[in-house]
Chain A
Amino acid sequence: GQQVMQIPQYQHVQEGEDFTTYCNSSTTLSNIQWYKQRPGGHPVFLIQLVKSGEVKKQKRLTFQFGEAKKNSSLHITATQTTDVGTYFCAGDTSGTYKYIFGTGTRLKVLA
Chain B
Amino acid sequence: DTGVSQDPRHKITKRGQNVTFRCDPISEHNRLYWYRQTLGQGPEFLTYFQNEAQLEKSRLLSDRFSAERPKGSFSTLEIQRTEQGDSAMYLCASPAGGARDEQFFGPGTRLTVL
Interface residues of A, Cβ cutoff 8 Å to B: 1, 31, 33, 35, 42-45, 48, 50, 88, 90, 96-104
A98 CB to closest chain B CB (Å) equals 5
A101 touching B42 in the complex, CB below 8 Å, given contacts A33-B103, A44-B105, A45-B103: yes
Beta-carbon contact of A42 and B107 below 8 Å: yes
A17 CB to closest chain B CB (Å) equals 24
Beta-carbon contact of A98 and B44 below 8 Å: no
Give the CA-CA distance A107 to B103 in the complex, in Å.
22
Beta-carbon contact of A45 and B102 below 8 Å: yes
Rank and list the top 4 A-B pairs by shortest CB-CB distance, nearest first.
A101-B42, A42-B105, A45-B102, A101-B43
Q: How many residues on B have C-beta within 8 angstroms of the other chain's C-beta atoms?
A: 26
Q: Does B108 contact A (CB under 8 A)?
A: yes
What is the 8 Å Cβ interface bit string for chain B, positions 1-25, against chain A (1 contact, 0 not)?
0100000000000000000000000
Contacts of A102 in B (CB 8 A): 42
Q: Which of B42, B48, B91 contacts A103 (CB 8 A)?
A: B42
Beta-carbon contact of B44 and A96 below 8 Å: no
Contacts of A50 in B (CB 8 A): 99
Contacts of A1 in B (CB 8 A): 59
Beta-carbon contact of B91 and A98 below 8 Å: no
B16 CB to closest chain A CB (Å) equals 29
A43 touching B101 in the complex, CB below 8 Å, given contacts A99-B45, A101-B44: no
